[in-house]
Amino acid sequence: MKTKLKVNKINVVIDCQDAGVMADFYSKLLDWEWTHPHANGWAAITSPDGTVYAFQEVEDYQPPVWPWEKGKQGQMLHLDFYVDNLEEAVQYAVKLGAKQADTQYFRTSTTMIDPAGHPFCLDTEEEEV
């Protein structure tokens, strides 16, 4: 018997030290509504189309190291956000509390580090040459 998983909705849950800081950062970065207030170690934001990013506080949270280093907590996923103007997007993310990663690999994207230490990329649709 072949079984299919019927998925009605997907939420992305991101581990962190402070869910409120993360919800605040990403709600401003993405201009999404803060839909679940910071309580009991959780907070969440929701996009206009219903996509949810939830933030979960983890005891003894260790931020990932990017790029990877042997013996250190590496990233388990990262988010890519496509933007029209890369320079403006980087400046805005920094203003909100992100930092630009020390190591960069591409001209058409910039790897950033969010307030909890997770890498994310600001990308353009431009081809890398």
* pTM to 2 decimal places: 0.84
Q: Tell me, rounded to whole angstroms, the distance of Cα 84 from its chain centroid.
A: 18
Please name each of the domains of the chain with its CATH number: 10-61 (3.30.720.120), 62-129 (3.10.180.10)
Retrieve residue 35's tokens.
């839909």
Cβ contacts of 83 within 8 Å, gap of 6 or more: 89, 122, 123, 124
Element (H, E) at 81: strand 79-82
**Predicted pLDDT of residue 1:** 62
Q: What pLDDT digit, counting tens, does each position of 50-81 carry?
A: 999 999 999 999 988 888 889 888 777 788 99
pLDDT, average across residues 31-39: 94
pLDDT digits (tens, 9 = 90+) for 84-116: 999 999 999 999 999 999 999 999 999 999 999
